[in-house]
Chain A
């Protein structure tokens, strides 16, 4: 299947700093990528849909000014957690689908574990 990578795989930062997470589709172009967040022992929650060349669509309750999403190319989307606080500590996962007619499966990255001290 298609490969999606994330960088970094884990990050520890101080409260108040900003952290950028990259999501790349390695062997295909993705006009749409998705960002999820997962707290311990909970399921994945969709945060936003990242559209190449346009603004992201955020799910209800997700602060767009806190979680900045940029999808500047067909293979890269970035999520920036601005002014991170301990409650933002979580497992952040991105995904993409092939964007082809009939290709419905999403391919997920390995996730980025963020710890805010």
Chain B
């Protein structure tokens, strides 16, 4: 799987939008961009994924650049409960329905009151 680069940490004010960047310059054509988050001492939580079009769901928006070498996860109105480590992962199908995920170090987002 292609590697990703994320900032180690970011701060955001409660109620403001949190924009988390991710570089994946070696992504290949069949690889998707996934975002997960992990709140302390819990299992990771799926947020969103995309291939090349921007995506939006009830949790967040995912903006992927046209060359697909980077993306941004947007939490439109961050709350204190959004404080977590956010992981950007690129992955492709590896046989059947096995989507293998390789976690990097992620970005620790701290939402401040």
Give the number of chain A interface residues (Cβ < 8 Å).
30
Check if B41 sits within 8 Å of A91, measured CB to CB.
yes
9 of the cross-chain contacts (CB-CB < 8 Å) are A4-B43, A32-B97, A43-B104, A93-B44, A97-B98, A99-B96, A106-B101, A110-B42, A110-B43
Check if B103 sits within 8 Å of A32, measured CB to CB.
no
Kindly state whether residue A108 has any CB partner on chain B within 8 Å: yes
CA of A53 to CA of B93 in the docked complex: distance in angstroms? 21
| Contact size range, B | 20 to 34
Give the interface SS of chain B, mostly helix, strand, loop or mixed. Answer: loop
CA of A91 to CA of B76 in the docked complex: distance in angstroms? 31
Check if A109 sits within 8 Å of B43, measured CB to CB.
yes
CA of A15 to CA of B99 in the docked complex: distance in angstroms? 35
- Can you list, as one digit per residue, whether each of B79-113 has a CB less than 8 Å from chain A (1) or not (0)? 00000000100000100111111111110000000
Name the residue of chain A whose CB is nearest to the CB of B45.
Answer: A108
CA of A43 to CA of B101 in the docked complex: distance in angstroms? 12
Check if B43 sits within 8 Å of A43, measured CB to CB.
no
Check if B44 sits within 8 Å of A46, measured CB to CB.
no
Kindly state whether residue A45 has any CB partner on chain B within 8 Å: yes
CA of A99 to CA of B45 in the docked complex: distance in angstroms? 18
User: Chain A nearest CB: distance from B9 CB in Å?
Assistant: 13
